[in-house]
């Protein structure tokens, strides 16, 4: 069920892509900026009605011009040394995103490496939490058939390959 791809998440053909947003849900840089740019103004219009999102939670909109049907907006933790519940909040961001997708009957979902850019979460620990959260969810009742981790760099791709035992 789990796949990894190196590339740009806005180009992936899945039912839902996950956005690494901030609490305002009103856009930003990184993958968030790329998703709003590629998807067009419809996504922001819907985001404005959602009144933000707490860290570790997830909310859903349609996907504008993107190939996906939905964008699931989640907010990962800002990394502040590791003693501020960062690992739990990152786990929740993945878990609540896939759970929300499942509720919307999404069959395929793509994740970026949440919190590992501007929010500074160490990549190795973040990748193991991402995998643990997704596997943890897939063990319960689910209609989800495919989960894709989309990694933006070769280095990140290789890290996930290692963590998933694909090398
Ligand atoms: N496709 C896939 N992955 C990408 C793409 C893309 N098009 N662009 C960047 N990444 P970040 P965060 C990778 O900074 O750390 C925004 O301003 C990137 O290399 O996008 O959760 C929000 O509004 C990195 O590995 O998200 C928030 O304020 C990963 O996506 C803040 O950034 C996440 O990096 C959230 O920070």
Tens of pLDDT, residues 29-78: 999 999 999 999 999 999 999 999 999 999 999 999 999 999 999 999 99
Distance (Å, rounded) from C-alpha 65 to C-alpha 42?
A: 8
Q: Which residues of the chain have pLDDT under 70?
A: none
Closest atom, ligand 1, to C-alpha of 27? 23
Active-site annotation, residues: 32
Cα–Cα nearest to 113, from 164, 157, 161, 55: 157
- Tell me, what's the pLDDT at 133? 98
Query: Which bin fits 102, alpha (ψ -120 to 50), beta or left (φ > 0)?
Result: alpha
Cα 85–Cα 148–Cα 28 angle in degrees, nearest 5: 55
Query: Does residue 97 line the site of ligand 1, with CB under 6 A?
Result: no
Q: Which pLDDT does position 152 carry in this prediction?
A: 98
How high is the mean pLDDT of the chain? 97
Q: From the CA of 55, how far away is ligand 1's center (Å)? A: 15
Whose CA is closest to atom 12 on ligand 1?
115
C-alpha of residue 31 to centroid of ligand 1, in Å: 4
Please give the pLDDT value at position 141: 77
Distance 69 CA to ligand 1 centre (A): 20
150 close to ligand 1 (CB < 6 Angstrom):
yes
Q: Is 8 in the pocket of ligand 1 (CB under 6 A)?
A: yes
């Amino acid at each position: 069920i789990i796949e990894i791809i190196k590339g740009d998440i806005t180009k992936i053909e899945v039912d839902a892509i996950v956005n690494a947003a901030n609490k305002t849900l009103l856009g930003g840089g990184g993958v968030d900026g790329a998703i709003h740019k590629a998807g067009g103004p419809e996504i922001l219009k819907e985001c404005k009605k959602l009144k933000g999102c707490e860290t570790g939670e997830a909310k859903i909109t349609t996907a504008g011009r993107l190939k996906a049907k939905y964008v699931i907006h989640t907010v990962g933790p800002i990394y502040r040394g590791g003693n501020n519940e960062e690992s739990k909040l990152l786990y929740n961001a993945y878990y609540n995103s896939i759970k929300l997708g499942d509720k919307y009957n999404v069959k395929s979902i793509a994740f970026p490496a949440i919190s590992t850019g501007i929010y500074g979460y160490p990549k190795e620990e973040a990748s193991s939490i991402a995998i643990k959260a997704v596997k943890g969810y897939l063990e319960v009742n689910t209609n989800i058939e495919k989960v894709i981790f989309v990694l933006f760099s070769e280095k990140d791709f290789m890290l996930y390959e290692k963590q998933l035992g694909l090398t």
